[in-house]
């Protein structure tokens, strides 16, 4: 049985843990060679070791244009092309009401989620194969009104807007789609959410549970592979129904 990403080259940003790391692992399982990035060299080395083969780790911050230039120079030198780009790196302060939002919090969030996403895709374009797939990482926060998330939610809504514009600009050449996860059981979630908060999240999820990183990975695989060859410009919610009802 052929693998869905056989001989394809993928770049995944912010992939040292959670959903993006699960995606990197699945892409390699399905035949891809993956370049992954992260800000921490230690965590990056650990992720590369976990994946084990067909992977290169490149330390860098998605909000730094110099780091992005270095990333794509390495990709060009080692593989010469990109078939799949998953712009996954993200940042956000939760539980920050409007009254306590700071200039730094705003700048840090938009620098990674909006500026970083735009320039990640822009700088990848010269290496993208015709027929390639760009996947952007948004969130159900982009369409929901959760208290204390005004900056984060706005940044994710901007990511959704990018996909619409780029689908129109790149039509016939590159597909651009968005994954919008709901609440997913990652180490980052455990760092910021108490059990009481997790129970609150579950209460608004029709499927009655928090999602798993692998469930985001399988959605990304669909958008990366020829299974979605006639799919572009969509926002794929992987949220147990939380943003749908």
Residue 140 predicted with pLDDT over 70: yes
Residue 128 confidence (pLDDT): 98
Residue 192 predicted with pLDDT over 70: no
Residue 42 predicted with pLDDT over 70: yes
C-alpha torsion 217→43→163→198, nearest 10: 60
- Under a CB-based contact definition with an 8 Å cutoff, are residues 59 and 41 in contact? yes
Residue 196 CA from chain centroid, whole number: 27
Alpha carbons 56 and 221: distance in angstroms, whole number: 19
Alpha carbons 117 and 137: distance in angstroms, whole number: 9
Comparison of pLDDT for 113 and 195, the residue scoring more: 113
Average pLDDT over residues 63-84: 97
Residue 1 predicted with pLDDT over 80: no
Residue 93 confidence (pLDDT): 77
- Under a CB-based contact definition with an 8 Å cutoff, are residues 12 and 71 in contact? no
- Going by DSSP bridges, is the β-strand pair 55-59/82-87 parallel, antiparallel, or unpaired? unpaired
Which sequence spans correspond to the domains of the chain? 9-238
Task: Look up the pTM and report it.
Answer: 0.95
Average pLDDT over residues 108-113: 94
Question: Taking the chain, what is the end-to-end CA distance rounded to the nearest angstrom?
Answer: 38
List 152, 166, 222, 237, catalytic entry:
152
> What radius of gyration do the chain's Cα atoms show?
17
Residue 189 predicted with pLDDT over 80: no
174 bridge partner residues: 132
Average pLDDT over residues 217-236: 98
Residue 130 confidence (pLDDT): 95
Alpha carbons 164 and 187: distance in angstroms, whole number: 31
Q: Catalytic residue at 152?
A: yes
Arithmetic mean of pLDDT over the chain: 94
The 8-class DSSP code of residue 236 comes to E
* CATH classification for the domain delimited by 9-238, as one of 3.40.50.720, 3.30.70.920, 3.40.50.150, 3.40.50.360: 3.40.50.720
111: its two tokens:
């620098």
């Amino acid at each position: 049985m052929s693998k869905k990403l056989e001989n394809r080259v993928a770049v995944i940003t912010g992939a040292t843990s959670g959903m993006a790391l699960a995606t990197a692992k699945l892409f390699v399982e399905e035949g891809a060679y993956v370049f992954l990035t992260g800000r921490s060299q230690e965590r990056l080395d650990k992720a590369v070791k976990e994946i084990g083969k067909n992977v290169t780790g490149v330390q860098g911050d998605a909000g730094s244009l110099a780091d992005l230039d270095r990333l794509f120079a390495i990709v060009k030198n080692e593989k010469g092309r990109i078939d799949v780009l998953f712009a996954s790196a993200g940042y956000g302060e939760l539980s920050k009401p409007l009254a306590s939002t700071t200039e730094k919090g705003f700048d840090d969030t938009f620098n990674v989620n909006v500026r970083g996403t735009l320039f990640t895709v822009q700088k990848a374009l010269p290496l993208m194969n015709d027929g390639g797939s760009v996947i952007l990482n948004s969130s159900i926060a982009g369409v929901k009104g959760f208290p204390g998330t005004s900056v984060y939610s706005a940044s994710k809504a901007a990511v959704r807007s990018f996909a619409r514009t780029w689908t129109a600009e790149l039509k016939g050449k590159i597909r651009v789609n968005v994954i919008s996860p709901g609440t997913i059981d990652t180490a980052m979630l455990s760092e910021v959410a108490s059990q009481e908060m997790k129970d609150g999240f579950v209460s608004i999820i029709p499927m009655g549970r928090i999602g798993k990183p692998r469930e985001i990975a399988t959605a990304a695989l669909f958008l990366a592979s020829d299974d979605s060859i006639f799919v572009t410009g969509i926002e794929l919610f992987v949220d147990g129904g939380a943003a749908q009802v």
